[in-house]
Amino acid sequence: MLQQSDSPNPNNSAPLLSSPPAPPLSDEDFFSTTTSVASGSTSSDSKPPSPTLSLPPQIPITWPPDGALTLSWVTDLMQAFDWASKALPPSEFTSMLPVEVFDKLVLTAHKILHKEPNCVKIDSESGLGPDSRVVVVGDVHGQLHDVLFLLKNAGFPGEDRFFVFNGDYVDRGAWGLEVFLTLLAWKVLMPHRVYLLRGNHESKYCTSVYGFEKEVLTKYGDKGKHVYRKCLGCFEGLPLASIIAGHVYTAHGGLFRGTVVTPSKRAKKKNRKVVHNPEANALTLGSLEELAKARRSVLDPPWEGSNLIPGDVLWSDPSMIPGLSPNKERGIGLLWGPDCTEEFLKKFNLKLIIRSHEGPDARDKRPNLGGMDIGYTIDHIVESGKLITLFSAPDYPQFQATEERYRNKGAYIVLEPPDFDSPIFHSFEAVTPRPKANPYYDFEDVIDSDEELDLVSMVPES
């Protein structure tokens, strides 16, 4: 049974744009051992410590001579990013991370990611055992300091600690590049313990609208277009979903439609065509086999045609209304009801679906679903299990046009043996004060919850 924590919930009162730059965390404070959760607890709250002064790290970051990353290299990179976010203007980013080092990191990660299947399986064959824990993380949206705190609070990836990130690493926050590169470094260091799934913002369209493209161009100057293209190449390789211990399905948006096979006029087997039926009343849930066969290496998943599964996985949302229907609010993906959650769980012998994709701004517009005040909601409770929405960016969005901020907590989930299907929720507040930063997109005019997409601009160039 899921329980709420009795931990206090102090308000985060630091205004974003008016707060002065904060000093970096010291090695002792920042990389200290995480506080353990009381035995048997299913929910806990964490408040980040106040930053303390430390000496700048060794910069510029250099690539290891043998090309093999170490834990020390990755933590040095994290500390350098933390320090630079407070001490360097964005235009001097290359003095800390030269483009040559960026290229080697991204190339190494690119090779690993593109070899992974659409749906990665984390099970005994992957090293999951009786002493293992799996940490699941939702949207983080360029909020570097909250990501660094989360990694410290949950404990760094290790032989017995797996991480699954549900996508949306970039956009809106001012440090999407640092967040993405930090997670790529962990992926390179521990490719079978860290899994990076794709979110809807890991696309050309979203990054051109919500700030990541401009951020990269600002930080790398005349090399910015090159760096941006390399990041897009990595986005194409990110897997779409994961299955943990055979019991838990995770994906950024969630469920997806199935394909139907229609015979050609000749009715020959080799000429059968696989198409997606666009009619709402003909929509059916897709299978894991269909997910495995989808072509994920598209920068902007189509909203029509024969390759709709990636768009569904990245953009769909749950609903309290039974059935499957087009997601008209977003203009792409699906809405699915509790009956679909039950069908999917039962059909594939699952107990839990963990998806992300909706922050406090999106849930503010969906009164029939729970708000995102504590970083997660339990949206469907059905006979076979539960559907959870997980959001890991506290005090989101970083840049907000309204006077009153959401001041939401972020959260991550820990799954423990033997079955890894009973979620332990860890809510946490934003690291404050945030370093002063300028937005890379027009946050006053851009719709926060990704609604009313300009679908025409998503059509790939011929």
Cα–Cα distance measured from residue 155 to residue 149, given in angstroms and rounded to the nearest whole number = 10
- Give the tokens for residue 101: 């080092």
Q: Report the 10 Å Cβ neighbour count for 299.
A: 16
> Is 247 a residue of the active site?
no
d(CA 369, CA 377): 8
- Phi-psi region for residue 184, left (φ > 0), alpha (ψ -120 to 50) or beta? alpha
| Orientation angle between helical segments 71-87 and 176-189, nearest 10 degrees | 170
Taking alpha carbons only, the member of 140, 172, 204 closest to residue 444 is 172
d(CA 284, CA 276): 10
Q: How far apart (Å, rounded) are the C-alpha atoms in residues 391 and 413?
A: 10
d(CA 133, CA 335): 31
CA dist., res. 36 & res. 299, Å (int): 40
Say if residues 135 and 154 touch (Cβ distance below 8 Å).
yes
Catalytic residue among 141, 145, 201, 247: 201
Catalytic residues: 201
